[in-house]
Structure 1
Amino acid sequence: MVVLHVRWAASSSSFSSSPPPLMGEEEMEFLYECAASAAVADVAAALAGVAALQARLLSLCCCLRERGAAAELERALAEAEAYASKEQVRHNRFLSPRALREHIKNIEKTAIATVQASPEALCLQQKSSEEKHENVQLWWAGKELAMGKNLCDYIGVNDKTKIVIRLMQAPHEH
């Protein structure tokens, strides 16, 4: 499997429905694994999905922290932030979309139980991260990867490759 070290700019991200205030961090990172023969369009959609979940989780943590968190909620927030942190890249740990969703659900459940308020009042309601992410661009070695090609067209067929990919939103054309 090819390891993709994905970098994306959180400040200009539209992977979530509202740009997250990510504690001053400008760039987020995560690791993703796929086959060298994977279609670039499929990889781009998967990476955008993980980026959206990562942004959603970190924005949720930030939003709830600003409101003041009880001890049980603080524990859940700290655990979730540690999981979604770009520090995971340094420890060679991959982000799982399933685990990100579980952290989000856990935080929402804990927040509702500890604060005893509605999800709307806690800023928990947001568009689903399952939506299609269009206009995504992948860049590697200074080149945009064409959506109609496979990853191996750029990096070869060696499945033991690790590359750094930049994930970006394509400029909107009006």
Structure 2
Amino acid sequence: MVLLQVKRGDETLFLFETSINEQTDVVIRDLVAIHNGQLKIQRVCMEIEELAEHGTMLPSEMMGLNEDQIEELKLKDAWADKCIPSGGFTFNKDPLLRRNGQQPSEAMQKVLAGAITDAKAMIDRKLAKSSKYLTLKTIEEALNLLRGAVTIVYPMQLPPHDTIRMEFTNTEDLTGTQASKEVIEPSKAQLWFAGRQILTGKLLKDYLGNNDKTKILVKLNKLGEGPPAREPVISEPIRRQMMAEAFRRQEELKLQSQELRRVADESYF
């Protein structure tokens, strides 16, 4: 099996195991799905942190409004009484005015926090440094872990307009958000290797050769972004080491020069 080190820009996203006999269409599709899955898990974890602090999301017409405005407009959160967390809640006002303030009990907060920690660990980009590769199954397991924790705390489910529920059902709308710039649409995905675009309709070995026991670096890109920057010939750690060595050598030469001048001065007198 060949191991792909998948990067986007200068950042390593994950490692992916495949075969040189795999179709390039399948490889690109899976890489994009894993990348987008990582982003989804990060978004869900961020929202669950807010859920644990400030309860379920307010209806869109109530978001950003203070209590006086809500009262004046005679608005009501119809889901507040339906989606009460297991074990009850205490009120903790959301400073962003996005959530209803019904904070779950400390025990339920721990359930959510534990799931967040475990899910993040499963898709941590640092795993690439330890040669652990990601799979679509791992992404799904991490999402199921988060979904299960939310279900424990909210067995009646979250309101249909809550971002977390929409993320779980793949109905989220990222239009106009920073997240929309990070997600890659499968139809607009490009994969590059050694400055050459890997095209669909081929086999991976058409680009990598017949060596099925190797590790290579590939880059994910979006259509229209152009070829990704080439990797530096010298890695950053080696470059820093070379600079440190050059500085050390420069200091040695400076000391030698000073010593030669001192000896010359003594000889003169």
1:7 is aligned to 7
1:96-135 residue pairs with structure 2 within 5 A? 96-114=135-153, 118=158, 120=160, 121=162, 123-126=164-167, 127=170, 133-135=186-188
State whether residues 5 and 12 of structure 2, in contact with CA within 8 Å, keep that contact through their aligned partners in structure 1: no
1:92-171 residue pairs with structure 2 within 5 A? 92-114=131-153, 118=158, 120=160, 121=162, 123-126=164-167, 127=170, 133-171=186-224
* Alignment partner of 1:86 is 2:93: no
1:4-83 residue pairs with structure 2 within 5 A? 4-8=4-8, 27=11, 29-68=13-52, 70-83=109-122
User: What letter is aligned with 1:137?
Assistant: Q
State whether residues 14 and 133 of structure 2, in contact with CA within 8 Å, keep that contact through their aligned partners in structure 1: yes
- 5+ residue gaps in structure 1? 10-25
User: What letter is aligned with 2:8?
Assistant: W
State whether residues 12 and 128 of structure 2, in contact with CA within 8 Å, keep that contact through their aligned partners in structure 1: no
Q: Give secondary structure in 2 for the equivalent of 1:123.
A: helix
More helix by share: 2
More strand by share: 1
User: Larger C-alpha radius of gyration, 1 or 2?
Assistant: 2
1:91 positional shift = 1.1
Q: Give secondary structure in 2 for the equivalent of 1:134.
A: helix
State whether residues 119 and 145 of structure 2, in contact with CA within 8 Å, keep that contact through their aligned partners in structure 1: no
* Larger RCO of the pair (alpha carbons < 8 Å, separation 6+): 1
- 5+ residue gaps in structure 2? 54-108, 172-184, 226-269
Distance 1:136 1:73, change over 3 A: same
Q: Give secondary structure in 1 for the equivalent of 2:216.
A: strand
TM-score, normalized by length of structure 1?
0.77
